[in-house]
Chain A
Amino acid sequence: MADTNTQAVKDQDKPLLTVDNLTVRFAVKRGGMFSKKSYLYAVDDVSFAVKRGETLAIVGESGSGKTTAALAVARLVNAAAGKVDLAGQDFLTLEGEELRQARTKVQFIFQDPYSSLNPRLRAAAVVREPLDSLTTMSAEEKQETIDRLFAEVGLHKEQQHLFPHQFSGGQRQRIGIARALSTQPELIICDEPVSALDVAVQAQVLNLLRRLQENFGLTYLFISHDLGVVQHMCDSVAVMYMGKIVEYGDRLSLFNNPKHPYTIALLSAVPSVDKKRREQMQRIDIPGDPPDPVNLPRGCRFASRCPKVVDKCRESEPELTEINGTHRVACYFS
């Protein structure tokens, strides 16, 4: 089942989504009225790729730029530089009607199911909205699609007439998922899809996302700060710190053999119920706060908190370099 599916998918070698040197910056005012404009580089020269039917997770702490990177891919914020190629289409240069058409290909599942559904629309209308604005389906086709989607995400047909406040958090997230699926997108960006949900409900939604991926060959860009969830969901991982990818690799290689001191510190900070892991794991402390994102240091951005830091790290920034097949690390010690 799953294996044959992913095998078939792997035969198509070209990744579905290729992001090259993506940069997003925001202008910030600092100092007096005539002072020079300075920029905050939320995403700085980031490249990654996602194969069809697979999941790439972007992890990092708040402020690391993971959400901004995803928003830029979906054309919800403007990129300053870089290239996004989705199924052979140069996504960043699209304008007007072309862009509107292309929006069917990328859909978003948002973090907070309480604020991301319009409280004045009934559940069916929430799911119908993207169909109305992005497709040319007839009314019957739309209703058929909605019926099918409600069944897929595990909601009853009668619930279509309810308003968002009449659903529990998990059910609301299911509506969000149905809405994201409605235009049959190539890529679904899941931005912390379960972090607002109760633990028991998280499992339901994560299992649903995996089941849908298996059934429809969906491709996910999965953003999360919860490493346990990421470990369960992803096929490959990009670890971001201060707008840069510091480590990038496939699931097994990265989790079993993390190389970057930041990744190691992140993993060691996660509390675990596994007694063996707790005994094995040496906590790596990274004291202090990240540097000021507007005045970044010259060298490695992690240098100020890194337990392994040497002079060279403060002088120049390490490049993301390949250490084996798919695993890349931006650290002089890898």
Chain B
Amino acid sequence: MKNSHNSPLLKVENLRIELTTRDGVAPVIDDLSLELRAGETLSFVGESGCGKSMTALALMGLLPEKVGRVAKGSICFNGEDLTTASPARLNEIRGNDISMIFQEPMTSLNPVYTIGEQIAEVLRRHRGMNKAAAWQRAIELLDAVRIPNPKNRVSDYPHQLSGGQRQRVMIAIALACEPKILIADEPTTALDVTVQAQIFDLMRDLGRELGTATILITHDMGAVAEMAERMIVMYAGRMAETGPVQQVIDHPRHPYTKGLISCVPHLLAQLTAERPPLAEIDGIVPSLKDFGRDECLFASRCERANEQCRNQRPPEVGFSAGQLSACWQAEDV
């Protein structure tokens, strides 16, 4: 194993993913590099259509067939390049070393199998457990994700569970094989806040116990602040900014990050009668056919945009503690 103490668990270098659309080939991920260490939580933030989920699918080797492909770059997991791995090898890794929690707990469970069968399936497939042992382990896992009375609930069907419980089952499935990386794609958007808080606690505790590294995809800056150590802000397939979460929130170096933080009405510690209008980011994310141009793709929505922004793609400017910003005026933001 090449994996020494210091080398990252996952290393993505200059990844470019192209989607074939009617208007031609569009780079949905354009030159993305990142590192993830064991036990760490990294968060992807951005609006929909910015390439967050596409990154997750690429990591899992689940890009839509014939439409999406890795055009350039590498995804190194434990020293092994996943972009060139065979489908059989990817099948081995998926659900075992890297697993994923999807956004919709309502639709991502199979309605015709009991939750016990769905958890046991993973264990039998990847761990070669026999039926009885896998079933027993499924009960333990349900207990670990704090579903009350797991012995009886294990033979329930998904429709008999509440939304929060279903998401717990999804987590149980994802963690069944004690994966090294857990990718959570908006794991709580469909859930109530109190349930969301419980799911986050659960992910944090289990992550700590198992040493799992987590990639959390979300649009909620509050969730990022609470859950992650580092974050990557994506815009139109490119990394806009990255760095330690608190540092980026305290001093964002990209106008888009700044906008994302200030356009949401956050709960305040002490509320006053004052209510200034929210900061707006005008316009919307550009359409796929505009991706990949040699310009700052955020320029059309940016107050600071000048000629240079509209004519040349900005380089990544470095700041302390690994904070990077892809903005021509990063120093002044």
Interface residues of A (CB under 8 A from B): 61-62, 168, 170, 198-204, 206-207, 210-211, 225, 227-229, 231-233, 251-252, 255-256, 265-278, 280-281, 283, 285-289
* Of A206, A233, A273, the contact of B222 (CB 8 Å cutoff): A273
Q: Are A277 and B269 in contact, with the CB atoms below 8 A?
A: yes
Within 8 A of A (CB), among B246-287: 246, 249-250, 259-261, 263-273, 275, 277-282, 284-285
Smallest distance from the beta carbon of B153 to chain A beta carbons, Å?
A: 12
Q: Are A202 and B225 in contact, with the CB atoms below 8 A?
A: no
Q: Are A270 and B269 in contact, with the CB atoms below 8 A?
A: no
Subset of 13 A-B contacts with CB under 8 Å: A168-B284, A170-B284, A199-B264, A200-B263, A207-B280, A228-B264, A231-B267, A252-B273, A266-B193, A270-B193, A271-B197, A274-B268, A280-B269
B219: CB under 8 A from chain A?
yes
Decide: A255 near B225, CB < 8 A? Known: A62-B192, A269-B196, A273-B266. no
B194: CB under 8 A from chain A?
yes
Q: Are B278 and A203 in contact, with the CB atoms below 8 A?
A: yes
Task: Give chain A residues whose Cβ lies under 8 Å from the Cβ of B164.
Answer: 289
Smallest distance from the beta carbon of A93 to chain B beta carbons, Å?
A: 35
Chain B, residues 69-100, CB within 8 Å of chain A (1/0): the string is 00000000000000000000000000000000
Smallest distance from the beta carbon of B142 to chain A beta carbons, Å?
A: 15
Task: Give chain B residues whose Cβ lies under 8 Å from the Cβ of A231.
Answer: 265, 267-268, 271
B104: CB under 8 A from chain A?
no
Task: List 14 additional contacts besides A211-B277, A228-B266, A278-B225; criterion CB under 8 Å.
Answer: A198-B285, A199-B263, A200-B260, A200-B284, A203-B278, A228-B267, A266-B194, A269-B194, A269-B197, A272-B267, A273-B224, A275-B249, A277-B267, A277-B269
B143: CB under 8 A from chain A?
no
Q: Are A267 and B267 in contact, with the CB atoms below 8 A?
A: yes
How far is it, in angstroms, between the C-alpha of A283 and the C-alpha of B226 when the chains are bound?
A: 12
How far is it, in angstroms, between the C-alpha of A288 and the C-alpha of B219 when the chains are bound?
A: 27
Smallest distance from the beta carbon of B332 to chain A beta carbons, Å?
A: 22
How far is it, in angstroms, between the C-alpha of A203 and the C-alpha of B270 when the chains are bound?
A: 21
Chain A interface secondary structure, helix, strand, loop or mixed? helix
Q: What residue of chain B has the Cβ atom nearest to residue A195's Cβ?
A: B189
Task: Give chain A residues whose Cβ lies under 8 Å from the Cβ of B269.
Answer: 274, 276-277, 280-281
Chain B, residues 11-33, CB within 8 Å of chain A (1/0): the string is 00000000000000000000000
Task: Give chain B residues whose Cβ lies under 8 Å from the Cβ of A198.
Answer: 47-48, 219, 284-285
Decide: A227 near B284, CB < 8 A? Known: A271-B200, A272-B226, A273-B225. no
* Of B148, B197, B271, the contact of A251 (CB 8 Å cutoff): B271
Task: Give chain A residues whose Cβ lies under 8 Å from the Cβ of B47.
Answer: 198-201
Number of interface residues of B (CB under 8 A): 51
Task: Give chain B residues whose Cβ lies under 8 Å from the Cβ of A61.
Answer: 192-195
Chain B interface secondary structure, helix, strand, loop or mixed? loop
Q: Are A273 and B261 in contact, with the CB atoms below 8 A?
A: yes
B308: CB under 8 A from chain A?
no
Q: What residue of chain B has the Cβ atom nearest to residue A271's Cβ?
A: B222
Smallest distance from the beta carbon of A59 to chain B beta carbons, Å?
A: 10
Smallest distance from the beta carbon of A66 to chain B beta carbons, Å?
A: 12
Smallest distance from the beta carbon of B140 to chain A beta carbons, Å?
A: 20
Q: Are A275 and B267 in contact, with the CB atoms below 8 A?
A: no
Smallest distance from the beta carbon of B214 to chain A beta carbons, Å?
A: 15
Q: Are A204 and B280 in contact, with the CB atoms below 8 A?
A: yes
Task: Give chain B residues whose Cβ lies under 8 Å from the Cβ of A211.
Answer: 277
* Of A229, A232, A286, the contact of B275 (CB 8 Å cutoff): A232
Task: Give chain A residues whose Cβ lies under 8 Å from the Cβ of B280.
Answer: 200, 203-204, 207
Q: What residue of chain A has the Cβ atom nearest to residue B223's Cβ?
A: A271
* Of A170, A227, A256, the contact of B193 (CB 8 Å cutoff): A227
Task: Give chain B residues whose Cβ lies under 8 Å from the Cβ of A202.
Answer: 263-264
Task: Give chain B residues whose Cβ lies under 8 Å from the Cβ of A210.
Answer: 275, 277
B162: CB under 8 A from chain A?
yes
Q: Are A207 and B277 in contact, with the CB atoms below 8 A?
A: yes
B40: CB under 8 A from chain A?
no
Q: Are B246 and A270 in contact, with the CB atoms below 8 A?
A: no
B186: CB under 8 A from chain A?
no
Q: What residue of chain A has the Cβ atom nearest to residue B284's Cβ?
A: A168
Smallest distance from the beta carbon of A233 to chain B beta carbons, Å?
A: 8
Q: Are B271 and A252 in contact, with the CB atoms below 8 A?
A: yes
Chain B, residues 21-65, CB within 8 Å of chain A (1/0): the string is 000000000000000000000000001100000000000000000
Smallest distance from the beta carbon of B204 to chain A beta carbons, Å?
A: 12
Q: What residue of chain B has the Cβ atom nearest to residue A269's Cβ?
A: B197
Smallest distance from the beta carbon of A156 to chain B beta carbons, Å?
A: 14
Q: Are A203 and B263 in contact, with the CB atoms below 8 A?
A: yes
Q: Are B226 and A255 in contact, with the CB atoms below 8 A?
A: no
Task: Give chain B residues whose Cβ lies under 8 Å from the Cβ of A62.
Answer: 163, 192
Smallest distance from the beta carbon of B87 to chain A beta carbons, Å?
A: 34
How far is it, in angstroms, between the C-alpha of A157 and the C-alpha of B120 when the chains are bound?
A: 58
How far is it, in angstroms, between the C-alpha of A265 and the C-alpha of B108 when the chains are bound?
A: 29
Smallest distance from the beta carbon of B166 to chain A beta carbons, Å?
A: 12
